[in-house]
Structure 1
Amino acid sequence: MLTADDLELFAAIGSSPSLAAAARALGVTPPAVSQRLTLIERRLGLKLVERDGKGLRITADGELLLDRSNDILTRLSVLREELAERRGGASGELRLVAPFGFGRRHIAPLVARYHAHRQDVRVDLTLSDRPGLGIASASDILIRIGESRDSDQLATVIAPNRRLLCAAPAYLRKHGAPADPSVLREHRCIALRENDEDVTLWRFKGPKGEQASVRITPCLSSNDGEVTKALALDGLGITVRSEWDVADDLAAGRLVRLMPDWGLPDADITALLGRRGARSARIDDFLELLRQSLRPVPWRAVTD
């Protein structure tokens, strides 16, 4: 017979690229995971995982166990929540994933407020701009900026957020301000590599609804939004940033919004409820706290 702990172990293995990664997710040592996996395989008389130099491969028997394990664990989680709600409270674990910058500024402070009122809930916050499949699928709430391409997850918009074209006054004094998208190719541009997007294709919508796409050649690029903003603040080029991130800089005059009549695609703040995350009191409570913290939208107060 398998226990709930066995199922949780195998679910962690199935969502991780290696036993070491599964061990980190479980907070145990890799030898402990390997030993427990061997015991489970002996107990069942089945080979569940093949290991080679490239990582792990779940066998057909393992895929069946993984599917059933995830289903059983979800049902157990829902049952615990229903029983906790009958007692008038929430319990269990809340796993949150958020981008680095937005997570530090807006999510981490909420975790402290949430835990002060829900001390029976264990909260785990992971900050990552490119969470892997294992982290994403194991989360209860994944905060994303921009469009979600994962149709298996329920998405709810938390707050509106625009992308803005901006540059520092020092850059504009030296190079001038672009009047429309067609001249951006003549400017020094800074690109942020994020969300597997085509970051060198900047798409605009004009005041009359006309569309314009510009393929830029970045003079500078980074996978870190703080870095690209810092480069722009130093006057090294034009960049595209979320308004939540640059609202204060625009209000203080450290950055200038360019071509305001030409809009970029919005990048709303969205909460994705992972497959692990059946709706529960702990999830609903945090979502409501998050919505309240962003009403009115704080960055709109300084950009409009």
Structure 2
Amino acid sequence: MTDTADIRFLLTIQQSGSLVATGRKLGLSPSAVSQRLQQLEKKLGTRLLDRSARKLHFTEEGALLCQRGAELIEQFDALFDELQMRRGGLVGKLKINAPLGFGRRYLAPVIADFQRDHPDVDIALTLSDEPLTETADRFDIVVHIGALRASNLVGHAIAPNARFVCASPAFVKRFGMPETPHDLAHLPCIVLHENKEDASLWHFSKGRTSCSVRVESKLSCNDGDVIRRWAIEGRGVILRSEWDVADDIRKGALVRLLPSWKAPDANVVALTRNRAGLPRRTREFMQYLQSRFRPLAPWRG
């Protein structure tokens, strides 16, 4: 008879996509993972993975065990959550995915403080330059910044976040202050590649007037911190989230350009698979997260 540890092991293989990745996640060598899998197959008397396939492929029995096993694990964890709730505490695992820069600066401290207050909750934070491209069912919460494409995920508002066009004072002194968004087409710009967006097409509005500008870029990166540093060094104009550049604008390291024109907001939201029926640890973390950004987001404080 198998137990929950065996099912969790098999689900980790399914989520990781390979025995090598499973080993990294579990802190085991690939040979140790393979050996444990063989022991599980021997215990069950059936083959769970087809090793002749070029890609990781579960047999019909392996796929069934993953599907039904995941349901049982969820019920098992919910049962122990309920028992812990009766003792007045939180327990269980919480898996969170978030953007690199925002996760480092603002989310990591919140998570550490929440875990300190609830020591029986294990929290795994994954930082990514494209959180929405990750497999959504791998995470309990996905933090997202900006417009949300069509999705079956449920959004929970965390904090408002505008986007500003910025450059260094030295850059403005050299090239002058642009008067309209169309002037940006003739200036060196730096673009950020994220969420598979058209990074060099910038949109603006002013009252009922709206326009889009295709900017020229000799520098680009998928890390917002890199393009911010390049802008501070005077290498070009950036379109960047308020949370990332507000401090630099206050300090004078960056100058906001075109303040009368508005770029589309990129508000911070947390995404879950469901609105109702969330584990108590997920609900309470969401409330805690929202409380840390209200009534005023830290970049507006």
TM norm structure 2: 0.89
What CA deviation, in whole Å up to 9, does each residue of 1:24-81 have, x standing for no partner? 2233332222222233334445443334685423344433332222222222222221
Deviation (angstroms), 1:255: 1.1
For 2:219, the equivalent position in structure 1 comes to: 220
Distance 1:34 1:111, change over 3 A: same
Contact 2:131 2:143 in 1 (8 A): no
Distance 1:265 1:133, change over 3 A: closer
- C-alpha separation between the residues in 1 aligned to 2:149 and 2:32? 36
For 2:238, the equivalent position in structure 1 comes to: 239
Q: What letter is aligned with 1:282? A: R
Residue aligned with 1:57, SS: coil
For 1:30, the equivalent position in structure 2 comes to: 30
Q: What letter is aligned with 2:211? A: A
Distance 1:148 1:50, change over 3 A: farther
Identity of aligned residues (%): 42
Distance 1:278 1:142, change over 3 A: farther
For 2:261, the equivalent position in structure 1 comes to: 262
- C-alpha separation between the residues in 2 aligned to 1:110 and 1:150? 28
Q: What letter is aligned with 1:75? A: Q
What CA deviation, in whole Å up to 9, does each residue of 1:189-231 have, x standing for no partner? 10111122221221222322x3322222311011111110000
What CA deviation, in whole Å up to 9, does each residue of 1:156-203 have, x standing for no partner? 121111121111111111112222222221111101111222212212
Greater shift in the superposed pair: 52-61 or 91-100:
52-61
Contact 2:90 2:121 in 1 (8 A): yes
Aligned pair count? 299
For 1:145, the equivalent position in structure 2 comes to: 145
- C-alpha separation between the residues in 2 aligned to 1:52 and 1:157? 47
Distance 1:140 1:147, change over 3 A: same
Deviation (angstroms), 1:133: 6.3
- C-alpha separation between the residues in 2 aligned to 1:102 and 1:300? 15
Alignment of 1:13 with 2:43, yes or no, is: no
Contact 1:167 1:233 in 2 (8 A): yes
Residue aligned with 2:143, SS: strand
Q: What letter is aligned with 1:170? A: A
- C-alpha separation between the residues in 1 aligned to 2:141 and 2:281? 11
Q: What letter is aligned with 1:22? A: T
For 1:289, the equivalent position in structure 2 comes to: 288
Q: What letter is aligned with 2:231? A: A
- C-alpha separation between the residues in 1 aligned to 2:206 and 2:60? 53
For 2:87, the equivalent position in structure 1 comes to: 87
Distance 1:87 1:235, change over 3 A: same
Alignment of 1:73 with 2:89, yes or no, is: no
- C-alpha separation between the residues in 1 aligned to 2:131 and 2:47? 29
Deviation (angstroms), 1:152: 3.5
Contact 1:101 1:225 in 2 (8 A): yes
Q: What letter is aligned with 1:239? A: I
Contact 1:189 1:237 in 2 (8 A): yes
Deviation (angstroms), 1:136: 4.5
Contact 1:142 1:273 in 2 (8 A): yes
Q: Structure 1: any 5+ residue segments left out of the alignment?
A: none
Greater shift in the superposed pair: 292-301 or 25-34:
25-34
- Equivalent positions of 1:1-304 (< 5 A) are 1-51=1-51, 55-131=55-131, 136-149=136-149, 151-208=151-208, 210-273=209-272, 279-295=278-294, 296-301=296-301
Distance 1:59 1:170, change over 3 A: farther
Greater shift in the superposed pair: 22-31 or 219-228:
22-31
Deviation (angstroms), 1:18: 1.5
RMSD between superposed Cα atoms in Å: 2.5
